[in-house]
Amino acid sequence: MEKRNIDDMTIWEDAKKMLAKAEKEGIETAWDRLEQQTPHCKFGEQGVCCRICVMGPCRISKKAPLGVCGADKDVIVARNFGRFVCGGAAGHSDHGRDCVEALHAVATGETKDYSIRDEAKLFRIAGELGFETEGRASLDVAKDLTDIFFEDFGSRKKEVSFLCRVPEKRKEIWKNLGITPRGVDREITEMMHRTHMGCDNDAPNTILHSARTCLADGWAGSMIATEVSDILFGTPSPRKAKVNLGVLKDDQVNILVHGHNPIVSEKILEAVNDPELIERAKEKGANGINLAGLCCTGNELMMRQGIPMAGNHLMTELALVTGAVEVIVVDYQCIMPSLVQVGNCFHTKMITTADKAKFTGAEHVRFEMHNGKEQARKVVKMAIDRFAMRDQSRVEIPVEPVDITTGFSNEAIIEALGGSLTPLIDAIKAGKIRGIVGIVGCNNPKLKHDHCNVNLAKELIKKDILVLATGCVTTALGKAELLMPESISQAGPGLQEICGALGIPPVLHVGSCVDNARILQVCALIANELGVDISDLPVAASSPEWYSEKAAAIGTYAFASGIYTHLGLPPNILGSETVTGLAVQGLEDLVGACFAVEPDPFKAAELIDARISLKRKALGLSE
């Protein structure tokens, strides 16, 4: 691959300046390593390389159409895809389990470091799942709720609890296909089992179980993560925040939190607000302690507490290149191991907190339920002590931060609408809001950073389509100034009218990656209100710049839930016509939705727009 021009790598000023600084200072980034890895292995790219037993590894070609065991390209591609999304479902869901364990520790008195911040939501969810709450103590209810959620991970249920939210028609479809999600761990284990040599050797059958595994993620693992996080840390409500590398402060101790789970970062936030620690920072010559987020841990803190966001996936290395970061504290997922090396080019220390996510070269400060507060203080003290090691002459904070509005949980959206979804549904019926699209997911250095994320959103709001953003897309759309009420000037007339009247932006930040479950729920609520299936709604999902197993799992549960799903680049399945055909067409007949792959944001907007028009027409709604 030829060396790319910085202007072709990213659309952002802050990124370009840091890429130039990295180049000047000889610091390697993901873009450099992509160059070294290109061209990628064709067999891997096509998904026709199988490594699941030692009669192999086998790779399928014209000359050798079958693996040693006799598996063909369809079987191999399907198995690889199944294991790929299984990894993603496991990531989201294990995160969900950690949240349930935290709530359980609170309920049983095992920890005093955490508490229930949204008691009303606790009782609401308990009621929704059908158990008695009248006159009971909240810790008691929480204990019962965690028992129910723990069971959602197991093998005893015929269906996960939150299937109570799914429209009847959708449940019927899943039942008929045999893909009703039963238990999170069960579906994940069965996926691994089926893809062992000599089990599921029928590609469509494997793909169906992939769908089931991902449904267990979306409607259980992720949904539980979201709801329990709200109970523990508060349900998000609209608030202002700031984004981009300009949120770092050259005269303060800068701490970055990165990863996905709010359990660690919420405690770090408490510690940075501790007057004693602020005093200590001042004694060391800093003007205070500044906390900023990256990726989804950043989203979690921003949604609930308004903590600024330094950047998304491809900004994580570049945030350290500013030279202004004392420590980067990580929990798990999407954390590039290169952050240790980039940190070592400066005084920046990487601190790991989860035993399941250690990084060689980082310092491990184990966070457990009973010691979260103490460990957070320890981390913040380490950051303060490192401030003196900073080489101020190498610090460059490249831009001024951009204002955003965040905090649109479903509860907050309903409140903004005046207490029910009816005004939104009426606006959809009237064609003022023609549809709703969730734009979610990551960055990928194969694509120009945030180009597709931003332009797709801009095109959609112009077409009167309301955009919901999560994950790394949030930062992109925030930086593009789409997350402010004033951004409605960029929207079509209908969307302008509705959002203007409500005082909300045309793009709503609904949370982190696990919070895509909020979007599932909103779709279900609208479908139930209209008495239709989710696949009948004028809605779509998109992950323009995705890279991760988790993003593929999200895409898979989206389409399996009946939501048309656009991807900016394909998963590694193109080596099988059968699997590719299923993904882009065949599943339409089975679940009423499929994948569409299109790297160009303008063409993608047309595809999504056409789909929305089709669905509006079928519902008898005018354009």
Q: Which residues bind ligand CUV (CB under 6 A)?
A: 260, 295-296, 312-313, 334, 441-442, 471-472, 512-513, 548, 550-551
Least distance from C-beta 37 to ligand SF4, angstroms?
23
Phi/psi region, residue 306 (left: phi>0; alpha: psi -120 to 50; beta: rest), is left
Return the residue of 197, 336, 399, 430 that touches ligand SF4, per CB under 6 A. Answer: 197
Look at residue 55 and give the partner it binds from ligand SF4, ligand CUV, none, a contact being a CB closer than 5 to 8 Å depending on partner kind.
ligand SF4
Considering the complex, state which of residue 50 and residue 255 has its C-beta at the smaller distance from ligand SF4: 50
Q: Provide the β-strand partners of residue 465.
A: 435
In whole angstroms, the minimum distance from the beta carbon of 430 to ligand CUV comes to: 33
User: What percent helix, strand, coil does the chain show, rounded to 5?
Assistant: 55, 10, 35
Residue 3 exposure: Cα atoms within 13 Å on the Cβ side: 3
Q: Of ligand CUV, ligand SF4, none, which one does residue 65 interact with (CB within 5 to 8 Å by kind)?
A: none
Considering CB distances under 5 to 8 angstroms, the limit depending on partner class, which of ligand SF4, ligand CUV, none binds residue 295? ligand CUV
Lookup: tokens for 74: 């369809």
Partner that binds at residue 50, options ligand SF4, ligand CUV, none, CB closer than 5 to 8 Å by kind:
ligand SF4
State which residue, 438 or 575, has the beta carbon closest to ligand CUV: 438
Residues in a beta bridge with 543: 567
Q: Give whichever of 69 and 584 is closer to ligand SF4, judged by the CB atom.
A: 69
| Partner from ligand SF4, ligand CUV, none binding residue 579, C-beta < 5-8 Å depending on class | none
Q: 77 or 188, CB closer to ligand SF4?
A: 77
Answer for the pair 191, 213: CB distance below 8 angstroms, yes or no.
yes
Tell me if 78 sits within 8 A of 577, measured CB to CB: no
CB of 60 to ligand SF4, least distance (A): 8
Which of 53, 430, 502, 584 forms a contact with ligand SF4 (CB under 6 A)?
A: 53
Count CA within 13 A, CB hemisphere, residue 501.
12
Token output for 584: 């882009």
Reduce the DSSP state of residue 280 to 3 states and report it.
helix
Least separation in angstroms between residue 414's CB and ligand CUV is 25
Q: How far apart are CA 456 and CA 609, in angstroms?
A: 11
Q: Which 3 state secondary structure label does DSSP give 39?
A: coil
Which lies closer to ligand SF4 via its Cβ, residue 55 or residue 618? Answer: 55
Query: Distance of CA 83 to CAs 18, 164, 586, Å?
Result: 36, 28, 20
From the list ligand CUV, ligand SF4, none, partner contacted by residue 69 (C-beta under 5 to 8 A by kind): ligand SF4
What, of ligand CUV, ligand SF4, none, does residue 414 touch, CB below 5 to 8 Å by kind?
Answer: none
Q: Please tell me whether residue 47 binds ligand SF4 under the rule CB under 6 A.
A: no
Backbone dihedral angles phi then psi of residue 336, each to the nearest 5 degrees:
-70, 130
Interacting residues with ligand SF4 between 75 and 94 (CB under 6 A): 76
Smallest distance from ligand CUV to CB 188, Å:
17
Q: What angle do CA 258, 261, 267 make, to 5 degrees?
A: 80
Tokens read off for 273: 């607000």
Q: Is 575 in the site for ligand SF4 (CB under 6 A)?
A: no
Decide which of ligand CUV, ligand SF4, none touches 9; Cβ closer than 5 to 8 Å per partner kind: none
Report the partner that residue 471 touches, choosing among ligand CUV, ligand SF4, none (CB closer than 5 to 8 A by kind). Answer: ligand CUV
Contacts of 296 (CB under 8 A, 6+ apart): 259, 260, 333, 334, 471, 472, 512, 513, 514
235 within 8 A of 118, measured Cβ to Cβ = yes
Minimum CB separation from ligand SF4 for residue 39, in Å?
23
Per CB under 6 A, 56 contacts ligand SF4: yes
Q: Which is nearer to ligand SF4, 80 or 470 (CB)?
A: 80
Q: How far, in Å, CA of 544 to CA of 529, rounded?
A: 30
- Choosing from 50, 106, 491, 552, the residue that interacts with ligand SF4 (CB under 6 A) is 50
Task: Please enumerate in sequence order all residues whose Cβ is within 8 A of that of 48, keeping only pairs 6 or more positions apart, or say none.
Answer: 59, 60, 61, 73, 76, 77, 575, 576
DSSP state of 41: P
As measured in angstroms, the least distance from the Cβ of 6 to ligand CUV is 21
Helices 73-107, 138-152: inter-axial angle, 10-degree rounding = 160
Q: How far is the CB of 234 from ligand CUV (least distance, A)?
A: 20
C-alpha to C-alpha distance for 326 and 251, rounded to whole angstroms: 12
- CB closer to ligand SF4 out of 177 and 197: 197
CA dihedral 216, 218, 220, 223 (to 10 degrees): 170
Count CA atoms within 13 Å of residue 235 on its CB side.
Answer: 18
- With CB under 5 to 8 Å by kind, the binding choice for 433 among ligand SF4, ligand CUV, none is none
User: Please, what's the largest Cα pairwise distance for the chain?
Assistant: 72
Q: Which does 71 bind (CB under 5 to 8 A by kind): ligand CUV, ligand SF4, none?
A: ligand SF4
Return the number of the residue (107 or 335) whose C-beta is nearest ligand CUV: 335
Q: Which residues bind ligand SF4 (CB under 6 A)?
A: 50-53, 55-58, 67-69, 71, 76, 197
